[in-house]
């Protein structure tokens, strides 16, 4: 589909980063495209369509009910709002003014991450007050119990590669402690494959992105207790009005969930394994690179290619490598969250064999044209790289993932 890209002056992107919203999330599956196209010419009663989605979500997740909203970020806000208001319409219309309601939400400090915005900001949009529990790298059940009080409305648990991966409370324990205190648990599982496990561990609401592994249109899936799901949907009469989703998004979720359960996941994993093995074979042995496999940190069935860059041998840093890959046409975008720790990751999920070959060839080209062994330099904060680039939008539209220019420097 190069024509719509070229007509708008857009470069093709080879996505070795994963299902990232900044890259358009996922390549939408043909089944979802067909479903959206089928409903777009028609009028529907949205409550009926959402009820159909509720049944599809329940079937897929084992939940009592479900609904569709704009995205998982919206789902966090709506889930918290639902825990504060229940189905009382006067309270729903009152938000974000929380007077007279329980309005405190517990969040492990190591889960207050930035996924493009912070989890705490999404909670605060509802009018709730965030109470961080523990420290960034340590949180115990006793601290969670101690943080509960008469104003505790809910607790949020985040499953993500962004969070601290050790030293915090596991979900089973988190749910047990919260439920002992009468506190419902909302799980942000935006990028997770497991559609049933979080509810089975005790979560009251679980949030999934329709537009990531499910291959749907941009939308958020809310699954869980019937009373809380109903309260989430009723927020469309209040703050949720700004987060509603159209008919194409709702039917897209139904189609994506139906497709997900027909996929041969074992075959897909074999193909992805073959691609990462291909990359390891192509890259291993290049001077200045150490190439290994890294399992997904949250347990999704994916291995990624970890490319450690030794600047003193390679002549470039991981930051510079990622930057140069992103500057080309097509732009090659890698997972660059850890360039300050001297490595990038290659995610196979959205790559064809040909594209993986292109990624490896381009990395080899960058290494061949590097100025030669030199001293390592400290990369800038990726938050600063993004901020510096986006401040020139829309005049210079390229951001972090595409080689933003700053004087003679192009931070990528």
- Annotated domain spans of the chain: 28-260, 264-379
Helix or strand or coil: residue 130?
strand
For the structural domain made of 264-379, what CATH number should be given? 3.90.1150.180
Rounded Cα distance between 395 and 310, Å, is: 36
pLDDT at residue 124 in the model: 98
What pLDDT does 264 receive?
92
Residue 373 pLDDT = 62
Does domain 28-260 match CATH 3.40.640.10?
A: yes
Half-sphere exposure of residue 71: CA atoms within 13 angstroms, side-chain side: 14
Rounded mean pLDDT for each run of 10 residues along the chain, 412 residues in total: 72 90 86 97 98 98 98 98 98 98 98 92 98 96 98 97 89 98 98 94 97 94 98 98 96 97 92 94 92 91 94 90 91 92 93 95 91 66 79 71 38 28
76 token code pair: 């966090």
Tokens 């994993």 belong to which residue?
269
């Amino acid at each position: 589909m190069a024509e719509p890209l070229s007509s708008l002056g857009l470069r093709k992107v080879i996505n070795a980063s994963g299902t990232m919203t900044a890259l358009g999330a996922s390549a939408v599956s043909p089944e979802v495209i067909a479903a959206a196209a089928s409903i777009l010419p028609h009028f529907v009663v949205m409550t009926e369509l959402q009820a159909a989605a509720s049944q599809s979500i329940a079937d897929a997740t084992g939940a009592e009910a479900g609904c569709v909203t704009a995205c998982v970020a919206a789902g966090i806000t709506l889930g918290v709002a639902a825990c504060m208001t229940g189905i009382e319409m006067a309270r729903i219309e009152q938000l974000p003014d929380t007077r007279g309601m329980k309005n405190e939400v517990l969040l492990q400090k190591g889960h207050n991450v930035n996924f493009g915005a912070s989890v705490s900001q999404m909670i605060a949009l509802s009018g709730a007050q965030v109470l961080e529990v523990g420290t960034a790298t340590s949180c115990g059940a006793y601290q969670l119990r101690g943080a509960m009080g008469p104003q505790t409305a809910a607790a949020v648990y985040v499953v993500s590669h962004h969070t601290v991966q050790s030293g915090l409370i596991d979900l089973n324990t988190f749910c047990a402690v919260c439920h002992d205190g009468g506190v419902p648990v909302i799980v942000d599982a935006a990028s997770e494959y497991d559609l049933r496990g979080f509810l089975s561990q005790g979560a009251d609401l679980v949030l999934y992105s329709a537009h990531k592994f499910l291959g749907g249109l941009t939308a958020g899936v809310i699954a869980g207790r019937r009373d809380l799901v109903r309260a989430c949907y009723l927020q469309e009469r209040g703050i949720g009005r700004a987060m509603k989703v159209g008919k194409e998004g709702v039917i897209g979720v139904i189609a994506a969930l139906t497709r997900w359960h027909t996929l041969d996941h074992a075959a897909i994993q074999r193909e992805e394994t073959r691609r990462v093995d291909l990359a390891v074979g192509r890259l291993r042995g290049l001077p200045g690179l150490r190439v290994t496999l890294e399992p997904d940190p949250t347990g999704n069935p994916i291995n990624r290619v970890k490319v450690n860059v030794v600047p003193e041998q390679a002549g470039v840093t991981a930051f510079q490598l990622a930057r140069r890959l992103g500057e080309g046409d097509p732009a090659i975008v890698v997972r660059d969250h850890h360039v300050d720790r001297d490595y990038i990751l290659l995610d196979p999920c959205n790559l064809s064999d040909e594209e993986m070959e292109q990624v490896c060839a381009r990395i080899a080209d960058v290494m061949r044209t590097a100025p030669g062994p030199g001293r390592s330099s400290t990369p800038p904060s990726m938050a600063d790289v993004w901020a510096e680039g986006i401040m020139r939008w829309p005049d210079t539209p390229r951001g972090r993932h595409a080689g933003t220019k700053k004087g003679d420097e192009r931070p990528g």
